[in-house]
Amino acid sequence: MRPAISPLRPLGLLLVLAACAAGPDPRFEALSDHARAQYARYRHLLTERQRLHYLSLPDDRARDAFLRDLGIDARLAAMPPRIREAIWARQVVAGMTPEQVLLAWGPPDTVVREAGLGKPRIWVYPGRGHIRFVDGRVVEVRSRGGTP
């Protein structure tokens, strides 16, 4: 027996398609070259709300101040170079903390907790793979096709 499809599902798909067809966000199009480069560099480190706020700021000076106030560069500077470089490359490596993984890949779709010694936790990223933590550190990264 097939599960019933919510009547709202086709509407959601329609809204997504309409948003894609609308073209680029005019706020992004209005950014200076400096702001576009900055946005491209920091985008994956910002929440959706922070991205929208960045785009709504009136000028480059306000955008620079916003990013400085978030303290992203200071937080990254305090991390080991290997971890910092992985975050900028949007990669997850062994030894990362959950906060560092969030900076690299964002929040997981699903979190699975295993029972037992060391209390492993698995973060699942559909289409990308999963990450296994033990004692608050990444011990395994599996891409969808195997170990990266």
Domain ranges of the chain: 25-77, 91-143
Greatest alpha-carbon pair distance for the chain in Å reads: 59
Instruction: State the pTM of this model.
Output: 0.71
Mean residue pLDDT across the chain: 85
Q: How far apart are CA 11 and CA 16, in angstroms?
A: 9
pLDDT of 96 reads 98
| CB half-sphere exposure, 83, CA atoms < 13 A | 18
- Amino acid letter for position 24: P
Q: For residue 87, which of 37, 135, 45 has the smallest C-alpha distance?
A: 45
Q: How far apart are CA 42 and CA 70, in angstroms?
A: 11
Cβ neighbours of residue 104 under 8 Å, at least 6 residues apart?
Answer: 44, 86, 87, 90, 91, 92, 96
φ/ψ of 142, rounded to 5, equals -115, 120
Residue 142 in tokens: 């599996």
Q: Tens of pLDDT along 14-70?
A: 555 555 555 578 888 889 999 999 999 999 999 999 999 999 999 999 999 999 999
pLDDT of 73 reads 94
